[in-house]
Amino acid sequence: MNMTKIMVAVDFSEYSQKIVEYAARLAEKMGAELLFVNVINQRDIHMVNQITMYTDKITVESYLADIIKDRTQEMQKLVEASGCSKIANRFLIRKGVPFSKLIETAREQQVDMVVMGTKGRGDIAGVLFGSQAEKMFRHCPVPLLSIRERDKSD
């Protein structure tokens, strides 16, 4: 199978560095481009929008500008720390429901594979509503490689 583009879902959780490193090794062996994707959760945007009704110190636009700047810098750090800066790569930030935007981006960008972690920031929400990873497994249009953190006893 010829893989030319691998999408990496990055949520900046404690597992992100390991996921980026694994994807970088995979892309290097396959000669593939890396497409790093982060999603600003619509729930967070909605919360900021609610706050703006009570203060003029923040706007949704300023919140988004700040978070995009911060996440872009964090992604650059992850890329440098993982040693994949020599591999062709791009970084996209989307806004919306994470699993839905990841699926949409995989289709739009015509990726050959998605790499992501099994755990992220939303463990409690995952217990109640099903994790983003679980939803990705059910709906992803391409092969999905899930990287999990090993237990210390493994």
Largest CA distance in the chain: 54
Topology adopted by domain 5-147 = Rossmann fold (3.40.50)
Q: Residue 11: is its pLDDT beyond 60?
A: yes
Residues with Cβ < 8 Å from 29, sequence gap 6 or more? Answer: none
pLDDT in tens, 49-59: 898 888 888 89
User: At 149, is the pLDDT very low, low, confident or very high (cuts 50, 70, 90)?
Assistant: low
Termini Cα distance of the chain: 31
* CA pair distance 8, 115, nearest whole angstrom: 5
Q: How much is the pLDDT for 120?
A: 52
Q: What is the pLDDT of residue 127?
A: 38
- Number of residues assigned to the chain: 154
Mean pLDDT computed over 87-96? 95
**Is 117 a residue whose pLDDT tops 50?**
yes
Q: What is the pLDDT of residue 33?
A: 96
Domain boundary assignment for the chain: 5-147
- Cβ atoms within 10 Å of 73's Cβ, excluding its own: 10
Entry pTM? 0.85
* Mean of pLDDT values over 26-47: 94
DSSP H or E segment with residue 9: strand 5-9
The Cα–Cα gap between 93 and 41 comes to: 11
Question: Residue 36 in contact with residue 24, Cβ under 8 Å?
Answer: no
Residue 59: CB atoms within 10 Å? 14
Mean pLDDT of 65-74: 96
Residue of 130 and 114 predicted with greater confidence: 114
Higher pLDDT, 63 or 83: 63
